[in-house]
Chain A
Amino acid sequence: MARAAIPGRLNWRVATLVEAMDETPTARTLVFDAPGWPGHLAGQHVDLRLTAEDGYQAQRSYSLAAPADGTRVPLTVQRVPDGEVSPYLTEGLSIDYPVELRGPVGGWFVWRPSDPAPVLLVGGGSGIVPLMAMLRARRATAGRVPFRLIYSLRSPLDRYYAGELTQPDAGVDITHVYTRTTPEGWPRPPGRIGVADVNTGGWPAEFAPNCFVCGPTGFVETVAGILVALGHEAHRIRTERFGPTGG
Chain B
Amino acid sequence: MQDHTEPVVDGNALAGPLTEVFTSEVTTALTHCASCGRTGAVATLRVHHRAPGLVARCPGCDAVILRLNRGPHEVWLDLRGTVSLRIDLPDSE
Contact = CB atoms under 8 A, between A and B. Distances in A.
Nearest to B3: A244
B74 interface: no
A73 to B, nearest CB: 14
Contact of B41 (A6, A8, A108): A108
A218 B5 contact: yes
A61 interface: yes
Interface string B12-31: 11011001111111011000
A106 interface: yes
Interface in A58-107: 61, 102-103, 105-107
Interface in A223-241: 238-241
Given A6-B25, A107-B25, A108-B11, A61 B2 contact: no
Contacts of B85: none
Contact of A243 (B19, B28, B49, B93): B49
B17 to A, nearest CB: 8
Interface string A1-24: 001011111100000000000000
A37 interface: no
A239 B10 contact: yes
B76 to A, nearest CB: 17
Contacts of A105: 15-16, 19
A241 B9 CA distance: 5
Contacts of B50: 243
B27 A217 contact: no
B42 to A, nearest CB: 8
Contact of B43 (A8, A109, A243, A244): A109
Given A3-B93, A216-B2, A217-B2, A10 B28 contact: no
B48 to A, nearest CB: 9
B52 to A, nearest CB: 15
Interface string A195-217: 00000000000000000000011
Contacts of A6: 19, 23-25, 90
A45 interface: yes
Interface in B47-74: 49-50
A219 interface: yes
B19 A109 contact: no
Contact of A106 (B2, B3, B15): B15
Contacts of A244: 2-3, 5, 7
Contact of A241 (B10, B15, B21, B23): B10
Contact of A109 (B5, B12, B22, B42): B12
Among A102, A103, A105: residue with most chain B CB under 10 A: A105
Interface of B: 1-3, 5-13, 15-16, 19-25, 27-28, 41-44, 49-50, 90, 93
Q: Which 3 A-B pairs have the closest CB atoms?
A: A108-B43, A216-B2, A105-B15
8 contacts: A9-B22, A10-B20, A106-B12, A108-B27, A108-B42, A108-B43, A240-B12, A244-B3
